[in-house]
Structure 1
């Protein structure tokens, strides 16, 4: 794997949506979504994160093809709908782009079946959040298009071949074969490759003072840190930006409760615009340095079933366990429902319904709680032993 400047390595535009607004299914049968539901050309052109992406290249002698949109994990659910058609052919999923198709040949292995599933070398998420709450100044940033900046070796690219429409406006035209040049979204080994590449780059540049901070505070493509002095924050910003840029990575979306850092990031065009951001499963509002929970509203009015209660409680994610006094009650209720062998989709008896009603109301109220990011804002920083944390 190689990390490097995209302009030097990726010289062929990547097709960014083969599905367009139509597709074929079962031979010449074509399915189209309602015109009002499809993404318009102007909507596609106003997606800035698509500009300049060059992730793949054709392996035929035909001219390079431009297609219209890349469906990334961050926008997937905004595009994909609920309609699913299954049959002897490929599975079709309705979307604002038309029908998206996927199929694994019976009896054959997929690419992920052939890849080594090595867990990425990630820092402990709970430890990162605890460290983030120690220093006076919190600092968060992330690596722009992190996976796309790690190149596949030439010898590995043929196993990533895929078919693409040569003309998105005419699904009956011959298909063109492409292969990926960058690490694939969704490949089993991609998270490991990304982390290993970044850590290798940091190791090779360990003389940079930001290298150890990023190594210790990195989680996939996010860097979550805290510092005790304003000087340390501003030095870290400059050194971290230069360090990651030397490896072809853009460390962007900077935000902090230190206004001086936000001003520096603004000047370089890498400041986070949102007033409230997600930090490893929690929400943080830097201006007031307050944290809160991602609101997962639970419907406490409808009749509860074993399946419904399980689904509702599974949506609640609190990495520091701060809602445990309430969530443990929900887990005990689910345990009781299992012991009593209630049917999945049958409303549970009134006694359990009342218990669930009170738990749901308490969960909804608890998730509106906010709290200071810093553990001990009025005490000297040396009162907290970071190694112990």
Structure 2
């Protein structure tokens, strides 16, 4: 994982467009001086145009530097950045070190600086100067200290165990439709790892909507026990660990990968489940499951012959 330092400020605004970024400020930053009219010469944080312009410049830097610094680093810059945050997995430590060095050089050629570098492999971190590592790792003794918890695009990543985890901080909010919506939405889970859990909270909210309760109406007594039980049980999500890498270390080289998608729906909601099938060069296969849901969660079973799961209520092989 890496970040581009001050990304928006690294790209100039064309001179004929700078009047669109005018602002008033005291001369020389002194409040006792006269207020004068300034124009931003670079893109600023908060402007709707900044992410698009900066991403265009970043991809242009990849195109310009591809011949000198290699296709792998150019593709990383082109395809694996979310605004200024870069995320990439490679097969070996050497590949990671080479990619970091080439990407740093490519960015530097365009006046950009890669920093806040983090890896789940300490050998990779040792190849990076301490001042270019992410803050929580700069002062660590990599031979002794464990790697910390970090956030990756809002998701908690335990770098030492290379797992995704959840930090649950349910604040005391009014037990109203508004408060329940705020509590349920506070569990950030873009990949749907804990969809069967958050689903129950959403169903309670759904019932309040069906009952046409206002935003600040208290929860009905018939739903209160379900809500309190769900809220108490949510703290156990902190014990859950999701392996970041689907591929086990001893699985050798992947020769083929298949995605199998299944979905189902009811009046209570709908669900979707995906299976990743990996085949290595020994013709051994591995089946991994990932799902999302909105509505009643249904348990899944594995067919003894096919190894593909299905909803219990339609399974003929239970």
Matched with 1:180 is 40
Superposition pairs of residues 36-47 of structure 1, within 5 angstroms = none
Q: Using the alignment, how far apart are the partners of 1:156 and 1:239 within structure 2? A: 34
Instruction: Tell me, yes or no, if structure 1 residue 292 matches structure 2 residue 155.
Output: no
Q: Distance in 1 between matches of 2:154 and 2:258?
A: 23
Counterparts of 1:188 and 1:387, CA distance in 2: 38
CA distance, structure 2, for counterparts of residue 213 and residue 200 of structure 1:
13
Q: TM-score, normalised by structure 2?
A: 0.71
Structure 2 gaps of 5+ residues are: 137-147, 260-275, 277-318
Aligned ranges for residues 1-389 of structure 1 at < 5 Å?
Answer: 140-166=1-27, 170=31, 173-207=33-67, 208=70, 209-266=72-129, 269-274=131-136, 275-293=148-166, 295-299=167-171, 304-380=175-251, 382-383=253-254, 385=256
What CA distance in whole angstroms lies between the structure 2 residues aligned with 1:339 and 1:364?
28
Q: Which has the higher contact order (CA 8 A, sep 6+)?
A: 1
Distance 1:384 1:169 in 2: 65
Give the C-alpha shift of residue 325 in structure 1.
0.3
* 1:313 shift after superposition: 1.2
1:387 and 1:196 mapped to 2: Cα distance?
33
Residues 163-218 of structure 1: CA distance to partner in whole angstroms, max 9, x if unpaired?
112376646x4211111011021111111111111111112222323111232211
Moved over 4 A (4+): 167-171, 384-389
Change in Cα spacing, 1:251 to 1:343, as seen in structure 2 (3 Å) is same
How many residues matched?
246
TM-score (norm 1): 0.59
Cα offset, 1:357, TM superposition: 1.0
Shift of 1:273: 3.0
Q: Deviations over 1:351-374 (max 9, x none)?
A: 211111122123222244223322
CA contact (8 A) 2:168 2:237 kept: no
Counterpart-to-counterpart distance in 1, 2:200 and 2:255 = 32
Cα pair 1:205 1:243 within 8 Å, conserved: yes
C-alpha distance 387-237 of structure 1, shift in aligned 2 (>3 A):
farther
Does the 8 A contact of 2:65 with 2:109 survive in 1?
Answer: no
**Whole-Å Cα distance in 1 between the matches of residues 10 and 87 of structure 2?**
20
Contact 1:326/1:362 (<8 A) preserved: no
8 A Cα contact 2:176 2:216, kept in partner: yes
- Choose 367-376 or 305-314, whichever is displaced more: 367-376
- Residues of 2 paired with 1:332 and 1:287: CA distance? 36
What secondary structure is seen at the aligned counterpart in 1 of 2:89?
strand
Distance 1:168 1:229, change over 3 A: closer
Residue 150 of structure 1 deviates from its aligned partner by 1.0
How far the C-alpha of 1:328 sits from its partner, in A, is: 1.2
Question: Does the CA-based 8 Å contact 2:8-2:42 persist in structure 1?
Answer: yes
